Amino acid sequence: MTEPLRAGHLRGIMMRAPAMTSTVDFYVDSWGLSLAEKGDGVAYMAGTGPEPFLYGLKDADTFGIEYIHFGMPDRAAMDAFYHQCIDRGATVLGAPAPFDDPIGGYGFEILDPDFRRLRFTTELTMKASEDTFALPRKVSHVVLNTPDMEGVRDWYCETLGFRVSDYSADQMVFLRCSSDHHSIALVRAPYASVNHVAFEMPNLDSFMRGIGRMKQKGQVPSWGPGRHGPGNNPFAYFVSPSGFVIEFTSELQQIDEATHEAKVWPRTDPEAMDRWMTAGPPTPAQRAVMMGRPDPGFPELKQA
């Protein structure tokens, strides 16, 4: 099989939960996002970077991911990528076309093996980048729980062109589609769900000041601050009002494709889990909340 075309950069994610849009004020006043668009039962939150939205809030009966959003450089790349997905047996939900929603763009959607919907777009109307101190500028990465870590890993690599950056023992694999160490990571778990979504701060001082803002608002980290081994990024995890885990991070390792070799980081070495040794291992309560609620995904779309 020839080397696959690579998925473009991670743009963001749309989440769904009961009364999800009622949490807009938390994301504006505490987390540091801005409200880009709001409609009937949906809100689009933006960061300080150029993407029109990073984190979407959709009211729904179930908890989980509405779609993960990736960008492609242009229509030619989009169309070629679409045909690759078809040729490699992906469940494609339609040919590339304009999206009829407030964000728009041209692209298509597919389902991954856990029935998560993935959206690929180009020709979005981007906004001016600000990189304001202590405010999130982009979604750094999305971590997914899956009952078939190896199978889903292979699908992302063979169908979407992701590459393996590192492993955390035999429990986690980090996948990249750009120079970022990981845009998607997979965690071995009994069911499919979202583990957490990480937001990138401009620098380490912004990362710490974001934690301070949250503490001033009465929100303390559920884990962190610390610094991960794989990816070498600082971390501070919080629990959102809807029960999803969200993370502040910064300084994620940038991969040199010519020299990087994936390695297995041990979970038995505390410094491999937290290089600063400030956070310690996640508590049982933290592991439970990162396990999340089972996400049914969109199996009904498979026959659409």
The answer, yes or no, to whether residue 166 has pLDDT greater than 60, is yes
Residues 93 and 168 in one domain: no
pTM: 0.97
What's the confidence (pLDDT) of residue 120? Answer: 98
The answer, yes or no, to whether residue 92 has pLDDT greater than 80, is yes
Question: Which of 233-240's residues contact partners 24+ apart within 8 Å by CB, and which partners?
Answer: 233/140, 233/181, 234/204, 234/207, 234/276, 235/198, 235/279, 236/207, 236/210, 236/211, 237/196, 237/286, 237/290, 238/214, 239/289, 240/23, 240/26
Residues 14 and 153 in one domain: no
- Domain assignment present for residue 179? The answer is yes
Q: How far apart, in whole angstroms, are the C-alpha atoms of residue 155 and residue 32?
A: 34
Residues 182 and 106 in one domain: no
Instruction: Give the confidence band of 304 by pLDDT, cuts at 50, 70, 90.
Output: low
The answer, yes or no, to whether residue 179 has pLDDT greater than 80, is yes
> Which whole number is the average pLDDT over 171-181?
98
Residues 81 and 208 in one domain: no
What's the confidence (pLDDT) of residue 181? Answer: 98
- Domain assignment present for residue 132? The answer is no
Residues 252 and 198 in one domain: yes
| H/E element, 45 | strand 42-46
Domain holding 247: CATH number?
3.10.180.10
Give the residue numbers spanning the domain of 265: 138-291
Residues 266 and 159 in one domain: yes
Q: Are 288 and 222 in contact (CB under 8 A)?
A: no
- Domain assignment present for residue 131? The answer is no
- Domain assignment present for residue 245? The answer is yes
What's the confidence (pLDDT) of residue 136? Answer: 98
The answer, yes or no, to whether residue 243 has pLDDT greater than 60, is yes
Residues 69 and 102 in one domain: yes
Residues 146 and 115 in one domain: no
The answer, yes or no, to whether residue 1 has pLDDT greater than 90, is no
User: Coil, strand or helix: which one is 303?
Assistant: helix
Q: Are 138 and 45 in contact (CB under 8 A)?
A: no
Tokens at 225, concatenated: 């601050």
Percent of the chain past pLDDT 90, that is, above it, reads 94
Residues 172 and 228 in one domain: yes
Residues 115 and 149 in one domain: no
- Domain assignment present for residue 2? The answer is no
The answer, yes or no, to whether residue 238 has pLDDT greater than 90, is yes
Residues 158 and 75 in one domain: no
Among candidate residues 122, 156, 175, the one where a domain is terminated: 122
- Domain assignment present for residue 77? The answer is yes
Instruction: Give the confidence band of 302 by pLDDT, cuts at 50, 70, 90.
Output: confident
Instruction: Give the confidence band of 131 by pLDDT, cuts at 50, 70, 90.
Output: confident
Q: Distance between terminal CA atoms of the chain?
A: 28
The answer, yes or no, to whether residue 172 has pLDDT greater than 60, is yes
Closest alpha carbon to 144 in 91, 183, 178: 183
What's the confidence (pLDDT) of residue 211? Answer: 98
Number of domains in the chain: 2
What's the confidence (pLDDT) of residue 303? Answer: 63
The answer, yes or no, to whether residue 260 has pLDDT greater than 80, is yes
What's the confidence (pLDDT) of residue 183? Answer: 98
The answer, yes or no, to whether residue 165 has pLDDT greater than 60, is yes
Residues 148 and 285 in one domain: yes
The answer, yes or no, to whether residue 242 has pLDDT greater than 60, is yes
User: What confidence tens digit (pLDDT) does each residue in 34-87 have?
Assistant: 999 999 999 999 999 999 999 999 999 999 999 999 999 999 999 999 999 999
Instruction: Give the confidence band of 280 by pLDDT, cuts at 50, 70, 90.
Output: confident
Among candidate residues 59, 88, 122, the one where a domain is terminated: 122
- Domain assignment present for residue 304? The answer is no
Other CB atoms within a 10 A radius of the CB of residue 89 amount to: 10
User: What confidence tens digit (pLDDT) does each residue in 116-125 have?
Assistant: 999 999 999 9
> Which whole number is the average pLDDT over 104-109?
98
Report the mean per-residue pLDDT for the chain: 96
Does 284 sit behind a cis peptide bond, omega within 30 degrees of 0 on the bond before it?
no
- Domain assignment present for residue 5? The answer is no
